[in-house]
Amino acid sequence: MAATTSNPKDRNLLAVIGDEDSVTGLLLAGIGHVDQNQKKNFLIVDAKTQTSVIESAFQDFTERKDVAILLINQHIAEKIRPTVDRYQAAFPALLEIPSKEHPYGEFTALVLKRIATVREGKGSGTMG
C-alpha cells in the first residue's frame, strides 16, 4: 500500500466528475489521462448514472495520489452531498463547477458554506 502522505509535487492531474459537455470540454483542453491499469481520471454522468457509481468515482479520485484537483459539476455534487460535505482533505482540492444546463448555485457551494460557517463563528477557522 502507498504511504499515507504524498508529496504534493507528485499530484499532477485534474480529475473530473461531470456531465458530457463539461467532461468533453475538459478532455479537449487536455486533462484526459488513462494509466497503465486503464484507470481514467474522469467520469461522465448522465441521467442513468447511479448514485453509487458517482460516489465510487468520488472516493477513487479523492484517494488517488496523482490527482491535485477534483472538479465536479455542482448539480452532480448535490446527488452525493453528504459525501462531498464530509470531504476535508487539502489534496486533492475539491472544486464544484457549474454546467451549461445548471447555473451555479452559490449558496450550495461547499467552499462558500465553510466560509459562512467561519464568519458566523461556528467554525474553528480552519478548513481541515
Q: Tens digits of per-residue pLDDT, 3-13? A: 445 677 889 99
Cα distances from 69 to residues 13, 73, 84, in angstroms, run 7, 13, 14
Global confidence as pTM: 0.77
Number of domains in the chain: 1
4 assigned to some structural domain? no
Cα separation, 67 vs 65, whole angstroms: 6
Cα separation, 91 vs 106, whole angstroms: 22
- CATH number for 59: 3.40.50.10580
Cell of 95: 472544486
Q: Tens digits of per-residue pLDDT, 66-119? A: 999 999 999 999 999 999 999 999 899 999 999 888 776 665 555 666 666 667
**Domain housing 111:** 9-119
